[in-house]
Amino acid sequence: MNAADIAKIAGVSRSTVSRVVNNYGNVTEETRSKVLDIIKEYNYVPHASAQMLAGKKSKIMGLFIIDTKDEKEGNKMCTSSYFSPFTDAVIDAANKQRYNVLISMINEDNDYNNVKELFQNKTISAGIFIGAKNNEPAIKEIIEEGYKIAVIEQEVAGEQDPFSKCIVVNSDSFGGGYQATKYLIQLGHKNIAHLCGDMEQLTAISRIEGYKKALLDAGVSIKNNLIVKGDYTEESGYKAVKKLLLKEKLTAIFIANDSMSIGAMRAIEELGLKIPEDISVVGFDDIEVSRHLQPSLTTVRVPLFQMAFMAANNLIKANDENIDFYANYKIPVELIIRNSCKQMEV
Partner DNA sequence: CTGAAAGCGCTTACAG
Interface characters, 294-333, with DNA (x: CB under 7 A): ----------------------------------------
In 3D space, the residue among 255, 258, 334 whose CA is nearest the CA of residue 296 turns out to be 258
Question: Residue from 21, 102, 227, 331 that binds a second copy (CB under 8 A)?
Answer: 102
Q: Is the CB of residue 232 less than 8 Å from the CB of residue 153?
A: no
Which DSSP helix (H) or strand (E) runs through 317?
Answer: helix 304-320
Fill in the amino acid letter for 335.
Answer: L
Q: Residue 13 touches which of DNA, a second copy, none (CB < 5 to 8 A by kind)?
A: DNA
* Single-letter residue type at 109: D
Rule CB under 8 A: say whether 262 interacts with a second copy: yes
Q: Please report whether residue 334 would count as binding a second copy according to CB under 8 A.
A: no
Hey, which residues between 124 and 153 contact a second copy (CB under 8 A)? none
Helices (H) and strands (E) in the chain, counts: 12, 12
Contacts of 301 (CB under 8 A, 6+ apart): 285, 286, 333, 334, 335, 336
Please enumerate in sequence order all residues whose Cβ is within 8 A of that of 195, keeping only pairs 6 or more positions apart, or say none.
Answer: 228, 229, 230, 237, 240, 241, 244, 253, 254, 255, 256, 260, 264
Q: Which of 33, 37, 38, 51 binds DNA (CB under 7 A)?
A: 51
Q: Which range of residues in 47-55, 131-139, 244-252, 333-341 is near a second copy by CB under 8 A?
A: 47-55
Contacts with DNA by CB under 7 A: the residue count is 29
Cβ-proximal residues to 259 (8 Å cutoff; 6+ apart), any chain: 78, 79, 81, 82, 232, 233, 234, 237, 285, 287
Q: Minimum distance between the CB of residue 119 and DNA, rounded to whole angstroms? A: 14
Q: Which does 21 bind (CB under 5 to 8 A by kind): a second copy, DNA, none?
A: DNA
Stretch that binds DNA, among 1-9, 264-272, 298-306, 313-321 (CB under 7 A): 1-9
Query: In angstroms, what CA-CA distances link 17 with 7, 132, 199?
Result: 6, 45, 56
Stretch that binds a second copy, among 128-136, 168-176, 240-248, 287-295 (CB under 8 A): 287-295
Residues 298-327 that bind a second copy (CB under 8 A): none
Q: Where are the alpha helices (DSSP H) in 43-134?
A: 48-53, 73-96, 111-120
Which of 33, 42, 53, 77 contacts DNA by CB under 7 A? 53
CB nearer to DNA: pick between 12 and 195: 12
Contact residues: DNA, CB under 7 A: 2-4, 11-19, 21-22, 25-28, 30-31, 44, 46-47, 50-51, 53-56
